[in-house]
Amino acid sequence: MNHNIIKTIISFALIIAASTSYSCAVCGFGDDPAREAFILTTGILTAVPLLFIGGLIFLLRKKIRQAKNEEAQQPN
Question: How far, in Å, CA of 26 to CA of 38, rounded?
Answer: 8
Q: Which domain holds residue 43?
A: 33-76
**Phi-psi label, residue 65: left if phi above 0, alpha if psi -120 to 50, beta otherwise:** alpha
Q: Which of 46, 48, 25, 47 is nearest to 36 (CA)?
A: 25
DSSP state for residue 33 in the 8-state scheme? T
Q: pLDDT digits over 17-58, tens only?
A: 665 555 555 555 556 677 788 888 999 999 999 999 999 999
Q: Are 61 and 51 found together in one domain?
A: yes
Q: Are 20 and 40 found together in one domain?
A: no
Reported pTM: 0.51
Per-residue confidence at 7, pLDDT binned at 50, 70, 90?
confident
